[in-house]
Amino acid sequence: MKSMSVAMKYFAFLFLTILFTISNAGPISATMQKRDVFVPPITNPTNATVWNSGEVQTVSWDTSAAPVNITNKFGRIQLRQNGNTFPLVLADGFDILLGSYNITVPLLITGVYELVLFGDSGNFSPDFTINGVSE
């Protein structure tokens, strides 16, 4: 991803600007916090993970402590940085009991991110690195 054109960098900048603008408006994460039963810990990515924009990568989580009756069995995966959850949805509507799901890493500015797995509630991965375009 080293030889990104100026146009691509500009696109990534616009994209992130829009994401932050929307996520700072707030309503998305506020509504998500209300459901709270099953919060499976994310097992991948770890703090040693490095992903590249455009790659298909596997998000995994531990379902061993799942309650018998899950209030919301559908999962959703988003990204987060500096406490802001991006509205971009990487995957949605999958069975939270699957334990893993493949996503395509979006085009982002290279940096440290967290994944959020929403089901009944939101659970964060550790900080990990995504290599995209340089700022």
Ligand X SMILES: *[C@@H]1O[C@H](CO)[C@@H](O)[C@H](O)[C@H]1NC(C)=O
The residues binding ligand X (CB under 6 A) are 47, 56, 58, 68-69, 102
- Residue 91's DSSP bridge partners are 77
Q: What is the DSSP string of 23-39?
A: HHH-HHHHHHTT--S--
Q: Least CB distance from residue 56 to ligand X, whole Å?
A: 4
Q: Least CB distance from residue 18 to ligand X, whole Å?
A: 28
**Residue among 11 and 124 whose Cβ is closer to ligand X:** 124
Q: Least CB distance from residue 46 to ligand X, whole Å?
A: 6
**Residue among 23 and 53 whose Cβ is closer to ligand X:** 53
**Residue among 29 and 57 whose Cβ is closer to ligand X:** 57
Alpha-carbon distances of 119 from 38, 54, 109, rounded to whole Å: 7, 25, 27
Q: Which helix or strand (DSSP H or E) is residue 2 part of?
A: none
Q: Least CB distance from residue 85 to ligand X, whole Å?
A: 21
**Residue among 33 and 102 whose Cβ is closer to ligand X:** 102
Query: Dihedral of CA 70/40/21/109: which sign?
Result: negative
Cis before 45 (ω within 30): yes
